[in-house]
Each structure stands twice: as C-alpha cells, then as structure tokens.
C-alpha cells in the first residue's frame, strides 16, 4: 500500500538532504520539498511562529517504521513531526513504480 509522509523541517536544505538520503537508501521512491511554510506551534509553553520547509515522502506501508527511524536520525528537531497518511487511491502505474523503487 502506498503511503505518504508529512514532515516539517527547519529549512529547505534539511528537507532536501533528508529526502535525498532516503531515496538513495531505497526507503522511499520520491521526496517533494515545499521550501517555505509558516508554522505556528506551542513549544516549551510559548506560542512560536517560524518558517519551515515541508517534506512529503512517497513510500510503502511496510517501510513506515524504517523511514520514521531514519528521519529521526537525520532530523535536527528534538520532536519532529513525522506523520504517515494512506493513499486512498493512486494510479496503478505510479504505485507499481514505487513498489519497484523501494526495497
């Protein structure tokens, strides 16, 4: 089953670095980087707003634990957002490609 991961990163460079590493390690088929998103959140009892980069990954359900572990190792945040979402529907050719790329 195709799943997508949503990961906020401190900047575009970090997002691209994590995405590239996971593609090279065949944990994911593709990484998309949205270079700038404004995030507002509570941290250490304070409301903060900062610019981040959004990393979207495409992989298989069976790789979620490995992807999460590797992202934790590569990510600069103490508590990174690593959320997976199932692809309710995806074109069959794309899913087949993901299955051939991810090992």
CATH number for the domain spanning 25: value is 3.30.70.120
Q: What is the pLDDT of residue 62?
A: 98
For 60, residues 6+ apart whose C-beta sits below 8 A from its C-beta are 1, 2, 3, 98, 99, 102
Helices (H), the chain: 12-24, 64-74, 92-101
Condensed to tens digits (0 to 9), the pLDDT of residues 44-96 reads 999 999 999 999 999 999 999 999 999 999 999 999 999 999 999 999 999 99
Q: How many domains does the chain have?
A: 1
CA dist 10 and 82 (Å) reads: 13
Domain of 73? 2-101
Secondary structure of the chain: what % helix, strand, coil (to 5)?
A: 35, 40, 25
Q: For residue 32, what pLDDT is reported?
A: 98
Contacts of 36 (CB under 8 A, 6+ apart): 12, 51, 52, 53
Specify the pLDDT at position 54: 98
């Amino acid at each position: 089953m195709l799943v997508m991961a949503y990961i906020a990163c401190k900047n575009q460079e970090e997002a691209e670095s994590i995405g590239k590493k996971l593609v090279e390690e065949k944990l994911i088929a593709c990484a998309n980087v949205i270079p700038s998103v404004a995030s507002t959140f509570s941290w250490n009892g304070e409301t903060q707003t900062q610019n981040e980069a959004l990393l979207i990954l495409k992989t298989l359900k069976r790789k979620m634990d490995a992807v999460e572990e590797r992202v934790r190792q590569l990510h600069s945040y103490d508590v990174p957002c690593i959320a997976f979402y199932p692809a309710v529907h995806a074109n069959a050719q794309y899913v087949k490609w993901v299955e051939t790329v991810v090992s």
